Structure 1
Amino acid sequence: MAPRVVKSGPRLTEYLNAVKSPEPLFGDVQKHVLDKAAKPSGRRQDVIHPSEMVKSDWCHLAAYHRLLLEVEPAEKRKTTFTRENIFEEGHRTHSKWQRWLTEMGRLAGDWKCWYCGAVFWNDTTPAECHQCSAPPSCLEYAEVPLNAGPLRIGGKADGYSPHDFALIEIKTLGLGSLRFERPEFLDRYTVETDHGRLPDMTRLWRDFRRPLPTAVRQVQLYMYVANHFEDLPVDRTVFFYDFKPTQETKSFTVTFDESFSEPLIEAAAAIIDCLQTDTPPFCNINGRSGCPSCVEFKETNK
């Protein structure tokens, strides 16, 4: 068997650190996780994801190339063991809230049967698989598909409650999220201690009173797609936030305002027009010079 080759970069550093771990089993776990992360994720490359559209650095030219090729640049996903651990914790948080809502009969969406492979929609907790009649123990919640077919926008909401006409978004909040999206908020609650400057967790969580901006933009786009393309009546999104340092929770509600999403919908329509005419758009981030996202496609296609 040929030896495994790991390309240079952040992942190589993580991989070598795992090899040098003083506890062999811990190092083996890290290598296992990094090996899994290096494989194709299965994330669709033939659609524009709302999570990318709402970012300030969303490049229309990069989106055009990805839709045209239906592939990400080879080096697009750089990861570390810590990052993969954060993702895994997020998945567990999602499962917890979705399980509670399922037990209450308040969760609609797609369900997957692990016995026959069928995926079907149900407005509440299903009593059995619609295809093979397998019991609920064989069923797993598969969330809420939100697709705008003509615009090739595709994503998933964490949940939908028909009783409340609400989408559901489940989030974890850590210092990293605040450092990236609201550094001024984090600085406000950072104090001098005998161990250096540290955040006052109690006051910070007490004064955290609204979802992070990117999350708000994303759910507005979800609600736009739900109402205009999926015939899913939605007038708000309910957020459940878990605070990582203390495991405390909060809930917020964001009401639907389609004006938030109209510029993004127009941009997606323009990208589709460019695909149909085989005319690449200009990079909207850095003009003719290009930004890191679209330049990466140029490097990949050399």
Structure 2
Amino acid sequence: MSTDEIDVSTPAMLSFYRRLYPYKSIFNWLNHEHTPTRRFTHREFAFTLQGDVYLRYNSFATAEEMKKQVCMLNPTRFEIGPVYSARPRDKKTARPGAFVPVQRELVFDIDMTDYDPVRTCCSGADICRRCWSFISAAVRVLDNAIRDQYGYRHLLWVYSGRRGIHLWISDKEATDLTDEQRKAIVGWLSVIAPGIKEASKKLNFRGGHFTLPPSLRATLTHLSPIFVKLILEDQDCFGSTEGWETLLEYIHHAPLQATLRKLWSDDPTRSSVDKWGDIKSERRKKQGEKEFVSPVL
């Protein structure tokens, strides 16, 4: 079970920990009760100190004890780990096999670098208001998918501290999941594997309409309204040669690929909006051709 990290800028670190950090709220969120339970007392906290000193298997009886230790160590960051069968600070004295993780929130990590293949305004660790729209769309889709398809209700979205956002799911059913069950959920929610070749092979929707599974039909409800503004107008994802060649990979119809490639090569000034209009126009022309594969959402 992985850990999640909380980053704070170094100059005001100690003042932040002493005056602003919401220890009580963190305690209530992790503990689920007003008085300490194993969800908190058996929870691991790992600290990174100045000089990259890493301290694992810290645990606390109360929020006040946690605050005292954090202010004393003044870590550059700390991580919230799983709940163990014994208190993490007692790990060295626990009998063999008696110290194992037993609970952990279901955590999803959405990183802005995951969108480097499609965002045109920034890349790498750089983030701007424009490309943050990708994260906003992802939150909308994932939040609804988790609630509607799995029935989870206790969802917490937090800024990762660097270049993305994390979702923590605290429902008991989610915290009790095994690693294999967690992987299964991620697999169910995944649409395509990384890499254009693999992606284009999987996105093979035939005819004038999509026969999508319910899990994907729901996403269109949230993504369709923002597709034109974000992908076509703002990011102009298909404006460059690389961009529209990537788009053509999703069209499994060689004659249509050739037609569009020639049209766009002859007029390189055509915007993503224009190119999307070309695809829809050709789609209408070939509506009755069984072999035509539509990329249109």
TM range (shorter): under 0.3
Larger Rg: 2
* Higher relative contact order (Cα pairs below 8 Å, separated by 6+ residues): 1
Q: TM-score, normalised by structure 2?
A: 0.27
Q: TM-score, normalised by structure 1?
A: 0.26
